[in-house]
Amino acid sequence: MIRPPAVAGRFYPDDPGQLRDTVDSFLAAETKTNRIRALACLVPHAGYIYSGRVAGEIYQRLEIPSRVILVGPRHYPRGAPIAILSQDPWQTPLGLAPIDTHLAEKLVHACPLLREDAIAHGAEHSLEVQLPFLQRLAPSFAFVPIVIATVQYADLDALGRALAEVIQSEPEPILIVASSDMNHYEPDDVTRVKDRKAIGRILALEPRELFDTVRNERISMCGYGATVAMLTAARALGATHAELVRYATSGEVNGDLQQVVGYAGIIIT
């Protein structure tokens, strides 16, 4: 059964032409030559009006392979703690995005914590909003969706190691995209201080330190679990460098500096 879009018309345009133009405007800020072959990246997942520019600056710099693993948070309290889908395509206004069944099945075998669960994915936006960017840049790509609700470090570490194990076993490059917004609904100055601490741990490629920093500093980074798993995989795959491409807050768009959400775009090589 095709997974229909859950947030088209809310987080991004539901008209195909308008969506193409919107995504292309985010991808046109800089030259598209000399794209980077990265191991992983961090991108936000808010409504495009708020976070689309940050996401676009990441995607336009990357050489997008034909296979992508999307890992993000599960915002709603339904479904498995670590949920995957391995069969049916996802619909967006730009068409169908196929799932890489072979890759998904290998991941389930490598990580028994993964559970096939359509309920966990049904209303979730954190992965869906990435698809139009990928559809514009790599029309023939296939992907694997994973959403996370667990807050156990051992589980996140196990998932990250399984991601690396499976990617290493495949002959073609595979990009890991971790989807997360940063601190939520505090004043702009407070959010920037908190986000700087979390971003510092990501740039240092330290998944355990990111986990501890987010929890100890009470940083409401919704996708920190996905980011921990991504960093764990990237390190196992030999990552040596992380670059903060762009940081922004929602206050820069709507002028409300009392309750902002932070957005960071990071590339890991």
| pLDDT (tens place) for every residue of the chain, 269 residues total | 899 999 999 999 999 999 999 999 999 855 555 899 999 999 999 999 999 999 999 999 999 999 999 999 999 989 999 999 999 999 999 999 999 999 999 999 999 999 999 999 999 999 999 999 999 999 999 999 999 998 899 999 999 999 999 999 999 999 999 999 999 999 999 999 999 999 999 999 999 999 999 999 999 999 999 999 999 999 999 999 999 999 999 999 999 999 999 999 999 99
Quote the tokens at residue 241.
């460098």
Residue type, 64: I
Distance, CA of 64 to chain centre: 14
- In this predicted structure, what is the pLDDT of residue 215? 97
What does pTM read for this prediction? 0.96
Q: Count of residues for the chain?
A: 269
Shortest CA distance to 19 belongs to which of 73, 70, 94, 69? 94
- In this predicted structure, what is the pLDDT of residue 29? 57
Q: Are 268 and 239 in contact (CB under 8 A)?
A: yes
Quote the tokens at residue 253.
């768009």
For helices 224-236 and 188-203, give the axis angle rounded to 10 degrees.
20
Task: Please tell me the distance from the alpha carbon of residue 249 to that of residue 91, in angstroms, as a whole number.
Answer: 29
| DSSP β-ladder status, 67-73 and 142-148 | parallel
- In this predicted structure, what is the pLDDT of residue 32? 52
Q: Distance between the two ends of the chain, CA-based, in angstroms? A: 36
- In this predicted structure, what is the pLDDT of residue 30? 54
Q: If you compute the radius of gyration of the chain from its CA atoms, what whole number of angstroms results?
A: 17
